[in-house]
Structure 1
Amino acid sequence: MFESFFPRPRLFFSSVLLWTAIGMVVWYGPGDRIAGMLGFDLSAAGDPVVGLGYFHTPEFLWFYLFYFVWVLLFYAFWTIAQPHPWQRWSILGSAFILFTTYFGVQVSVAINNWRGPFFDTFQKALSGSGTVTAGELYGLLSIFAEIALTSTVVFVVTRFVVSHYVFRWRTAMNDFYMARWPVIRKIEGASQRVQEDTMRFATIMEGLGVAIVDAAMTLIAFLPVLWRLSAHVTELPLVGAIPHPLFVALVVWAVFGTVLLALVGIRLPGLEFANQRVEAAYRKELVYGEDDAARADPPTVAELFRNVRANYFRLYFHYMYFNIARGLYIQADNVYVNIILVPTIVAGRLTMGLWQQILTAFGQVSSSFQFLVNSWTTIVEMLSIYKRLRAFEAAFRGEPLPAIEQRPEAD
């Protein structure tokens, strides 16, 4: 799965983490001095910029240059050290997707910066004081339109590149497996694993992979925003006054939801894996029956289908209580932020603009922390596909099969 697309995957991903860590040390260490030497004035940072000017401040321009140079150095190292036929897509493609995803998240930050002045102006206009003109509101709405158009363009470009990226990955896997077809053709479900499992792997990666990156980038972008907005909230219901209450309340809530759903859904990956096996066995017998009248006889087919039915019924049962837990948590999450803001709202410490900014920042960070909660069913499907392909690779490499692969279908 990974060797086909990335050069020496274990070493490669370790080097990604190491190079990222070094980059962060440089960025937060001598980075400001280097920027100053290159002519970027980072000392003028003040209140958040509202509008498209947010994206070409000295801080952003310095980040663009730093990221571009850092990625090229990493790519040059791997091009020399371990050439790989797919390295332009696996390294440069990954870097481009990371950048556009981060830029898209920053668009959300720019919209959140816009919410403050817009809703404060809106609240002032509703008061009937006559101090707000129609031109001011039109001007703020036009700024929103510019940011929204930028968001649309970035989204379309990201999805287009990601679609090509994951199909290249599927192509790499297909070529890797088909080069070994004489060895793997006799493995159970070989045709399904090469065609369907690689297709499903690529399809899920297109959505799930971007969602993972987006969740990580959202945390990076919005955690500082939420930390700053926590200054306007001084206490929580039942708990009272604590430092940075919004931040603390969010982390506790997100950790609770993640642990809860992980425990409740712990059996689902194995059942999804078993489901693929019983479906493959049933389909394989039917295919044999197309060419051989002695195959796919009623008793055999009935037994295979009973295995299919039994596994689906187990899945339905386990998904039932999983969905109950997930549904209750998600519904509670919809009102959680407003509950913790009640003391601050009653005390009159929030304007409408601040309230909107807090809701947006809290929602963005909360959804990122709750990635496992919102994507658990997709992750389960991905894990089942990974188990099948990993067992497939173990078979043609001559490695011991995983324990789950050695169980009979009816187990």
Structure 2
Amino acid sequence: MFTSFFPKPKLFFISAALWCLAAILIWYFGVRDLGASFGLPPAGPNDPPVIGLSYFWTKSFLWFYIYFVVVVGLFYGFWAITNPHPWQNWSILVAAVLLFLTYFSVQVAVVLNSWRGSFYDLVQKALTKPNSVEPAQLYAGVMIFVVIACVAITVGVINSFIVSHFIFRWRTAMNDYFMSHWPRLRHIEGASQRVQEDTMRFSQTLEVLGISLVKSVMTLIAFLPLLAQLSSHVVALPIVGVIPYPLVIAALVWSVFGTVLLAVAGIKLPGLYFNNQKVEAAYRKELVYGEDHDDRAQPVSVRELFRNVRKNYFRLYFHYVYFNIVAAIYVQADVVFGLVLLVPTIAAGALTFGLYQQIRFAFSSVTDSFQYLVSAWTTIVELLSIHKRLKAFESTLDDAPPTGMQQQSVQGA
């Protein structure tokens, strides 16, 4: 699954994580300010926010572009020299492009949040003081949003296109790897399905989860400082009263609560999904044999196999009932949670309309990032099921007998 596309996967992913962490720390604790030596200083705390596309070619952003290219080049050069891999251009360079596009989309959200503050303050002024704002000012504000939205759409389309090709290249690598060992794998039940379907689903699902995780982390990096800054406008929180960094703490507590709640509610789903693939594969296998052999796929045996399929599906449906109830209640509560937090502050008249919009968006961005496991839980469950099947499949090549659920998958999936 990984060896076919990445050089020395365990070491590669560990080094990638450590390199990213080091790059972030080096940027925030030194290199960002070093840009001033090259005429590319960072924005000062008293500088007005840059609203619109010009944000993306400010001096600090240009310096970041240079830094990003250098960091990626060093990482790629290290692996290309120490452990060259036929798919290294895709697994490293294209992955870095996807990382940059994800970061760029997060920054678009930051720009939109800055726009919300100024535009909705302008709307408030127009509503409270008639004829104090020219229509041209409002039209100009709307046009800024349209331009930023067009950029967001363009980046999203480009990102989706590259992701699609990245996924297929990864699937190609796995396909080539498994087919090169086909004589040893062909006797395993469901071998054709695992090479044809599971490799596609695994690469696609893991890439979607990976991009979502990276975006969540980058959103936290971008919006947590902003949320901490906006917390200064909050008078007090309901029940708990005045606390330091109230919005940050509230976002963290609420997200951890939701993550634990849904993880407990959906704890049985991974095993049921895995069993589902087992019984479906056993049923499909008998039908395939029945195409060529008259003594196979007889009504009695097929009826029993389909009964197993039905039993597992009905169990899955049952457990999804309470999982969906819990998830739906939490999601609906999440809609109003941020508003409830701001009730004392709104009642005290301590916010402008623009600040309110900024706080709501920043708060929802941070909570959505913290709630990564909540939003991705069903996808993670599916991925775990696919991974178990492919892991059992690969165990044949490792000359290691599968154990537990993997043993059941190899013998009777």
Name the TM-score, length of structure 2 as normaliser: 0.96
AA matched with 1:235: A
After the TM superposition, which residues 177-326 of structure 1 pair with which residues of structure 2 at under 5 Å, given as runs? Answer: 177-326=178-327
Separation of aligned partners in 2, 1:163 and 1:110:
27
Would the aligned equivalents of 1:227 and 1:244 in 2 still touch at CA under 8 Å?
Answer: yes
Would the aligned equivalents of 2:262 and 2:374 in 1 still touch at CA under 8 Å?
Answer: yes
Greater mean alpha carbon deviation, residues 86-95 or residues 33-42: 33-42
Q: CA deviation at 1:152?
A: 1.1
Deviation sequence 1:327-360 (CA, Å, 0-9, x none): 1111111110111110000000011111111111
Separation of aligned partners in 2, 1:197 and 1:31:
43
Would the aligned equivalents of 2:35 and 2:63 in 1 still touch at CA under 8 Å?
Answer: yes
- Aligned residue pairs total 411
Greater mean alpha carbon deviation, residues 365-374 or residues 35-44: 35-44
Would the aligned equivalents of 2:184 and 2:396 in 1 still touch at CA under 8 Å?
Answer: no
Separation of aligned partners in 2, 1:172 and 1:410:
27
Q: Which sections of structure 1, spanning at least 5 residues, go unmatched?
A: none
After the TM superposition, which residues 3-14 of structure 1 pair with which residues of structure 2 at under 5 Å, given as runs? Answer: 3-14=3-14
Separation of aligned partners in 1, 2:323 and 2:154:
37
Greater mean alpha carbon deviation, residues 216-225 or residues 383-392: 216-225
Separation of aligned partners in 1, 2:41 and 2:17:
29
SS at 2:373's partner residue?
A: helix
Change (3 A) 1:407 1:182: closer
Partner of 1:387: 388
Q: Which sections of structure 2, spanning at least 5 residues, go unmatched?
A: none
Change (3 A) 1:217 1:7: same
Greater mean alpha carbon deviation, residues 281-290 or residues 46-55: 46-55
SS at 2:230's partner residue?
A: helix
AA matched with 2:16: V
Partner of 1:64: 65
Separation of aligned partners in 1, 2:211 and 2:227:
23
AA matched with 1:40: L
Deviation sequence 1:360-386 (CA, Å, 0-9, x none): 111111111111111211111111001
AA matched with 1:281: A
Would the aligned equivalents of 1:285 and 1:295 in 2 still touch at CA under 8 Å?
Answer: yes
Change (3 A) 1:368 1:30: closer
Deviation sequence 1:145-186 (CA, Å, 0-9, x none): 111111111111111111100110000010111110000111
Change (3 A) 1:410 1:21: closer
Q: CA deviation at 1:141?
A: 1.3
Would the aligned equivalents of 1:234 and 1:245 in 2 still touch at CA under 8 Å?
Answer: no
Separation of aligned partners in 2, 1:195 and 1:266:
29
Greater mean alpha carbon deviation, residues 372-381 or residues 21-30: 21-30
Q: CA deviation at 1:214?
A: 1.8
Q: CA deviation at 1:85?
A: 0.5
Q: CA deviation at 1:202?
A: 2.8
Change (3 A) 1:145 1:225: same
Q: CA deviation at 1:43?
A: 5.9
Q: CA deviation at 1:52?
A: 1.1
What is the percent sequence identity of the aligned residues?
Answer: 57
Partner of 1:96: 97
AA matched with 1:10: K
Separation of aligned partners in 1, 2:195 and 2:79:
28
AA matched with 1:309: R
Partner of 1:39: 39
Partner of 2:16: 16
Change (3 A) 1:260 1:390: same
Partner of 2:171: 170
Confirm or deny that 1:348 pairs with 2:356: no
Greater mean alpha carbon deviation, residues 210-219 or residues 31-40: 31-40
SS at 2:50's partner residue?
A: coil
AA matched with 1:379: I
Separation of aligned partners in 1, 2:156 and 2:112:
15
Partner of 1:2: 2
Would the aligned equivalents of 1:166 and 1:205 in 2 still touch at CA under 8 Å?
Answer: no
Separation of aligned partners in 1, 2:85 and 2:254:
44
Would the aligned equivalents of 2:34 and 2:41 in 1 still touch at CA under 8 Å?
Answer: no
AA matched with 2:257: F
Separation of aligned partners in 1, 2:352 and 2:174:
54
Change (3 A) 1:216 1:32: closer
AA matched with 1:246: L
Partner of 1:81: 82
Greater mean alpha carbon deviation, residues 139-148 or residues 239-248: 139-148
SS at 1:30's partner residue?
A: helix
After the TM superposition, which residues 335-374 of structure 1 pair with which residues of structure 2 at under 5 Å, given as runs? Answer: 335-374=336-375
Separation of aligned partners in 2, 1:102 and 1:157:
14
SS at 1:42's partner residue?
A: coil
Separation of aligned partners in 2, 1:100 and 1:21:
18
AA matched with 1:67: F
